[in-house]
Amino acid sequence: MTTPTLRIALVSDIHGNLAALEAVVADIGRRGVDRTVNLGDSLSGPLLPRETARFLMAQDWLQLAGNHERYVLGGGALPREPSDAYAHAMLGPAEVDWLRTLTHRHALADDDAFLCHGTPAHDDVYFFETVTPHGLRAATADEVEARLGEVRAALVCCGHTHTPRLLRSRHGQLLLNPGSVGLRPTTTRGPSLTPWRTAHRTRAMRSPNAAPTAAGRPS
């Protein structure tokens, strides 16, 4: 008996760019995706945070919070950046209540997958890059392993950097960043979507923006 294939789309870092999100959702519809996962940083930005929140609230998606959701909500302090303060001011009680329901990480036990925004432990730490006084560099294999911590899922998905990446850990885990829907790096074009297909704990992923590399060497 053939196990049905489940098709899952990953989106991340929308940052209030509703037009880009609508384009991605239209593409998801054409691909026949069964489920969509949003990895967070959905609203903060100078565009349409309230309208984007309402759009997302109407979707039957698994949705995570990113570091900017924490900043928008305040977390016991004022929002960190003007874009966070703007999003905070534009949201109503319903949108704020919805944000408070989102978690920063989620394990999909049936699919042997782990979802987070930054890393499993931190929503504001890059997974595949390391910040230095001179800018970003590719993370070493040791740094990637340290950021994985005790997570041993076959597939680990993250966002935060806005840069599509596909790596393998020393344990053979597939580590995936789908890129950003709403705010792309200057080296790539167009909103980003990563389809993820899973059947009987095997999965095939396609992304026009990333190819698998060894851990610590993002493509």
Within a domain: 158: yes
Of all helices (H) and strands (E), which one includes residue 86?
helix 82-90
Within a domain: 37: yes
Report the pLDDT value the prediction gives residue 39, as an integer from 0 to 100: 97
Report the pLDDT value the prediction gives residue 15, as an integer from 0 to 100: 95
Helix (H, G, I), strand (E, B) or coil at 135: strand
- Give the residue from 106, 91, 99, 114 showing the smallest Cα distance to 67: 99
Report the pLDDT value the prediction gives residue 2, as an integer from 0 to 100: 58
Within a domain: 217: no
* pLDDT, tens only, 33-60: 888 999 999 999 889 999 999 999 999 9
Q: Which residue has the higher pLDDT, 179 or 111?
A: 179
Report the pLDDT value the prediction gives residue 175, as an integer from 0 to 100: 92
Within a domain: 125: yes
Total length of the chain: 219
How many structural domains comprise the chain? 1
Within a domain: 57: yes
Within a domain: 208: no
The mean pLDDT of 65-91, rounded to a whole number, is 85
The mean pLDDT of 17-23, rounded to a whole number, is 94
**Edge-to-edge strand list for the sheet holding 194-199:** 62-63, 35-38, 6-11, 194-199, 202-205
Q: Compute the distance between CA of residue 112 and CA of residue 173 in angstroms, rounded to an integer.
A: 10
Within a domain: 209: no
Within a domain: 135: yes
Which CATH number does the domain housing residue 92 bear?
3.60.21.10
Residue 54's domain spans which residues? 6-199
